[in-house]
Amino acid sequence: MSENKKLRMGVLGLGEGRSVISAVQQSSLWELGAVCDLNEQLCRERMAEFHLPDYLTDYEEMLRDESIDVIGIYTPDQLHARHIIMALEAGKHVVCTKPLMVDLTMARDLIRAQKESGRQVFIGQSSRYFEAAMHQRRDFEKGRHGELVTVETHYVSDSRWFLERAWSHREGFSWMYNFLIHAVDLALWYLPRVEEVYGVGVCSSNSASRGVMAPDALKFILKDQSGVCASINGNYAVPALSKPAEHFISCTLRGTSGASKAECPFDYYHHFSEPGIYNTTVHENYDERRPYYYRFEGDTHHAGEYQNYLEYFARCIQKGETPLPDLKEGIRTIAVMEAMNRCLSSGQVERVSDVLDAWGLKEDIEP
């Protein structure tokens, strides 16, 4: 595809899709093809907010528009797999928000649909695209940490407001797949070959009394094939501490020649040094980037993360490269989460390869 042609985006789901519209409008690599949501009132609000000429309420009508190259999927978690397959069958590339899906039931159908279409599926794991996380990743890729020894991630937020949503009460919703996945994805970004997992979860009375019985306090240890391990922590239905006591998402890397901590969105600490030198921790702060990341009222939408990942995705399509996380990496993440879920009931260490075997996915995901 020509490096100069803008990609045309069709946005499905205009809640979080609001950030996508903003990102597309501000990017030189994208243009808006259509927006679609079942909720007409929301469509009208987005039309007014972004000065759009029109909207659609029928996904299939958006898929029939041949001028659209890519579908951005921002519908409730339980619908993602079906919506991705529909887009692939219509010959579109796909960017889908997290989680790729809420179990592995449709994994093989997704793999088949992608093979048949020859199109790209990119998972919008937005936390990789906060300023602090991107700086940490660059240092990691330069090898500044030496050999990685441990990773610690957390995502903590008081998200009791989420229980107001109808789909948080539908089958398939869990705090783990919807929320903890940010912390799981950061850990797997550094340890892509996690094999053993162990953890515990607590369903607090704050969640249970509102009818959501999924554990909202979650702690896991993940170990990869070489023995390097990650710890993952999440709390979602109890009060959370605010900055500076606690940042909502963080990732700490400890290696043989350095340690670093990305406190998302805007604080990055690192210490790369020789033995015996302890007081050289550098603190970088990117608060000046706040207006780029947070474009709407409050801190609820992070449009800057979306613009970062959409521009990465566009460059991959232009160059004919596979954007990561792709479908295979996304499915492996869900398999790791299924192993984590199994621990919650078995109380035992669970293996990711057993999950992949059980679903007949091993050859596709780990050939």
Ligand X SMILES: NC(=O)c1ccc[n+]([C@@H]2O[C@H](COP(=O)([O-])OP(=O)(O)OC[C@H]3O[C@@H](n4cnc5c(N)ncnc54)[C@H](O)[C@@H]3O)[C@@H](O)[C@H]2O)c1
Please report, as ranges, the residues that interact with ligand X according to CB under 6 A.
12-16, 36-39, 42, 59, 74-77, 79, 97-98, 124, 126, 165, 178
Minimum gap (Å) between residue 150 Cβ and ligand X: 25
Minimum gap (Å) between residue 10 Cβ and ligand X: 11
Q: What share of the chain is helix, strand, coil (3-state, %, to 5)?
A: 40, 25, 35
CB nearer to ligand X: pick between 69 and 77 = 77
CB nearer to ligand X: pick between 285 and 300 = 300
Minimum gap (Å) between residue 188 Cβ and ligand X: 16
> Tokens in use for 9?
């985006």
Whether 234 and 156 have beta carbons less than 8 Å apart is answered as yes
CA dihedral of 333, 336, 337, 342, whole degrees rounded to 10: 160
> Tokens in use for 163?
């229980």
Residue at shortest CB range from ligand X: 15
User: Measured between alpha carbons, how far is 354 from 169 in angstroms, rounded to an integer?
Assistant: 29
CB nearer to ligand X: pick between 13 and 255 = 13
Minimum gap (Å) between residue 238 Cβ and ligand X: 20
Strand partners, 138: none
Give the H or E element holding residue 36. strand 30-36
Minimum gap (Å) between residue 99 Cβ and ligand X: 7
Minimum gap (Å) between residue 187 Cβ and ligand X: 16
CB nearer to ligand X: pick between 125 and 350 = 125
> Tokens in use for 24?
């597309």
Q: Which residues contact 189 (CB under 8 A, 6 or more apart)?
A: 125, 128, 137
CB nearer to ligand X: pick between 16 and 338 = 16
Sign of CA dihedral 341, 343, 349, 354: negative
Closest CA to 269 of 139, 92, 119, 362: 139
CB nearer to ligand X: pick between 126 and 260 = 126
C-alpha R_g of the chain: 20
CB nearer to ligand X: pick between 274 and 297 = 297
